[in-house]
Chains A and B, each alone.
Chain A
Amino acid sequence: NAGVTQTPKFQVLKTGQSMTLQCAQDMNHEYMSWYRQDPGMGLRLIHYSVGAGITDQGEVPNGYNVSRSTTEDFPLRLLSAAPSQTSVYFCASSPRPQETQYFGPGTRLLVL
Chain B
Amino acid sequence: AQSVTQLDSQVPVFEEAPVELRCNYSSSVSVYLFWYVQYPNQGLQLLLKYLSGSTLVKGINGFEAEFNKSQTSFHLRKPSVHISDTAEYFCAVLNRGGYQKVTFGIGTKLQVIP
Contact = CB atoms under 8 A, between A and B. Distances in A.
Interface of A: 4, 31, 33, 35, 40-45, 48, 50, 56, 58-59, 90, 92, 97-98, 100-101, 103-106
A98 B51 contact: yes
Given A40-B9, A42-B90, A101 B104 contact: no
Contacts of B94: 97-98
B9 to A, nearest CB: 7
Given A90-B43, A103-B44, A105-B42, A43 B100 contact: no
A43 B90 contact: yes
Interface of B: 6, 9, 32, 36, 42-46, 49, 51, 90, 94, 96, 99-107
Given A40-B9, A98-B51, A100-B49, A45 B103 contact: yes
A92 B105 CA distance: 16
B101 A40 contact: no
A97 B51 CA distance: 11
B43 A106 contact: yes
Contacts of A42: 6, 90, 104-107
B67 to A, nearest CB: 14
14 contacts: A42-B105, A43-B104, A45-B103, A50-B100, A56-B99, A56-B100, A56-B101, A90-B43, A97-B101, A98-B51, A100-B49, A101-B44, A103-B45, A106-B43
Contacts, number: 57
B102 A100 contact: no
B32 to A, nearest CB: 5
A24 B49 CA distance: 25
B69 to A, nearest CB: 17
A100 B46 contact: yes
Contacts of A35: 104
A60 B107 CA distance: 18
Given A45-B103, A98-B94, A101-B102, 15 more contacts: A33-B102, A40-B9, A42-B105, A43-B107, A45-B102, A48-B100, A56-B99, A56-B100, A58-B101, A97-B94, A97-B100, A97-B102, A101-B44, A104-B43, A105-B43
